[in-house]
Structure 1
Amino acid sequence: MSFLSRPDDRQQSLIRRVRHELVRRDVHVVRTERLSPGLQAVTFGGTSLTGFTSLSFDDHLKFIFRDAHGHEQRRDYTPRHFDADRNELTLVFALHDVGAASDWAQRAQIGDAAVIGGPRGSMVIPDHLDWYLLAGDATALPAIARRLEELPASARTVVLLQTGYAQDQNLLPARAGLTRQWLPNAAALVGAVRSVALPEGGGFVWCAGEASTMAQLRDVLITERGLARTHVKVSAYWKPGASDFHEDLT
């Protein structure tokens, strides 16, 4: 029996949590890159980034910026990449028709100032498991891409990703043992998680994206498919009409 089955709810979670000192860092834009119609990468620099630590692809930090009206705004983002030699930190912004952070990212120019806070801690998942299932919408793509880069080459990985842009399919690193499925909408994502055949052995499921969709995925994984909560991590990265939203559902 796989350790993902319900009787193993009695086991200790695979997740190892590491706390970090909370540091507020003043940074500035050093370059920007449009990755696809829906995603913008912004790289920040500054001596304050010395000692920056992010141990997990699921980390989230606080991005603090001024909107077009000069008001301070705060949003949670995944550290996509940190170059310790150059003291450069890259975040990837999902672009929307309306949204203060999206607007800021699209307007960002070299030298623009911002503040980075955290991450407060890291959720470290072992990298020696038999397989991994990573699922979510476009807001989860940076974390999924980072996870694929950090996993051992031998790790079997299934990615289920909801995105409206074909160009996003080029943003995940190619690797042996990777199975990818691209979904056009939330209903298709839920259906794919419900029906996907999980590999043999022990693994871990990670999902992130819009709040109501993630609640459905949690119920599909734990209630319908009977997976152990100790080996499932589902997070709501955003909620329509809400700003600065992040909620762990498992």
Structure 2
Amino acid sequence: MRFTEDRVQGLLERAFDRLLLRNTRVAAVQRVSDRFRLIDLEGDALQGAAWAPGNKLQVKVAGPFTARTFTPIVFDAVRGHVRLLGYAHGAGPGSDWLRRVQVGDACQVFGPHRSLALGDLAGPVVLYGDETSFGLAAAVGAAMAGRAVLRCVFEVESVAEATSALQALGVEAAMLVERSDEACRMQAASDLWSRGSGDGTLFVLTGRAQSIQQARHALKGRGVPASRILSKAYWAPGKAGMD
């Protein structure tokens, strides 16, 4: 019996789904703004899963083998519940899924898996990122729970839309700068590095790959040791499906 390439691919996808993916359903969808969605997933398959702030969860948004990565805001392994913030920042499978997802939809996920090793978060933290970093900011803020200071700077497409999303997440005291305003963006980052470079602060750099490279270079120029800098590129222009 001869197998066509499409049939082989279909068999591989079904085997992958059956062995590695967790079945969930969409329990809630909140339209925070035109491009932001808060999404709650529930399922027995999530119960007992190990999770820590900074871990990633991959959601199958189309097939075959088409997934997008999210940073859970809340993960309840007892109830089998996870909350995600999605940002539909352009055209593509992930943004299309965010715009069409509805309560009751079946949803397959892979993970959670380790992405950023944040440690015990006992000291001050500076988080530098963008819209794709908002979920991480909410998870880190909740984990720190007043034990230490969390300062955030986000470069964003729309300050008004970003403000709405952060308010929905309960993330306060974040500095927002327009991504297109290069001078303002770099000045905001420089001010933040100056305030945190000498007090043992952990710097967490996420979001756009180019911005992370610039921030890492600036921190090293101020003498911040590599052990106090964590980074994870979530996206880069022209590249799809980064995690």
Question: How does the TM-score come out when normalised to structure 2?
Answer: 0.80
- Alignment partner of 1:214 is 2:212: yes
Query: Which consecutive residues of structure 1, in runs of 5 or more, have no partner in the other structure?
Result: 1-21
Please tell me the residue identity of whatever aligns with 2:227.
T
Mapped partners of 2:75, 2:112: distance in 1: 13
Change (3 A) 1:180 1:142: same
**Alignment partner of 2:26: what SS?**
strand
Query: Which consecutive residues of structure 2, in runs of 5 or more, have no partner in the other structure?
Result: 1-18
The answer for the alignment partner of 1:29 in structure 2 is 26
Match of 2:122 among 128, 133, 136: 128
1:121, CA displacement in angstroms?
2.7
1:48, CA displacement in angstroms?
0.8
1:190, CA displacement in angstroms?
3.2
- Within 5 Å, which residues of 2 pair with 1:47-126? 47-56=44-53, 58-66=54-62, 71-121=64-114, 123-126=117-120
The answer for the alignment partner of 1:153 in structure 2 is 146
Match of 1:193 among 189, 192, 199: 189
Fraction of identical pairs, as percent: 25
Please tell me the residue identity of whatever aligns with 1:28.
R
Change (3 A) 1:39 1:98: same
Please tell me the residue identity of whatever aligns with 1:41.
L
- Alignment partner of 1:39 is 2:33: no
Match of 1:166 among 154, 160, 185: 160
- Within 5 Å, which residues of 2 pair with 1:175-186? 179-185=173-179
Between 1 and 2, higher relative CO (CA 8 Å, sep ≥ 6) is seen in: 1
Q: Whose strand proportion is higher, 1 or 2?
A: 1
Deviations 1:70-95 (A, max 9, x none): 55411221112123443221121111
Change (3 A) 1:218 1:161: same
The answer for the alignment partner of 1:8 in structure 2 is none
Larger radius of gyration: 2
Mapped partners of 1:84, 1:90: distance in 2: 12
1:167, CA displacement in angstroms?
4.1
Report how many aligned residue pairs link the two structures.
Answer: 216
Mapped partners of 1:173, 1:185: distance in 2: 22
**Alignment partner of 1:118: what SS?**
strand
Q: Whose helix proportion is higher, 1 or 2?
A: 2
- Contact 2:43–2:81 (8 Å) recurs in 1: yes
Change (3 A) 1:38 1:225: farther
Mapped partners of 2:160, 2:67: distance in 1: 30
1:138, CA displacement in angstroms?
0.6
Change (3 A) 1:125 1:189: farther
- Contact 2:23–2:108 (8 Å) recurs in 1: yes
- Contact 1:54–1:79 (8 Å) recurs in 2: no
Please tell me the residue identity of whatever aligns with 1:124.
L
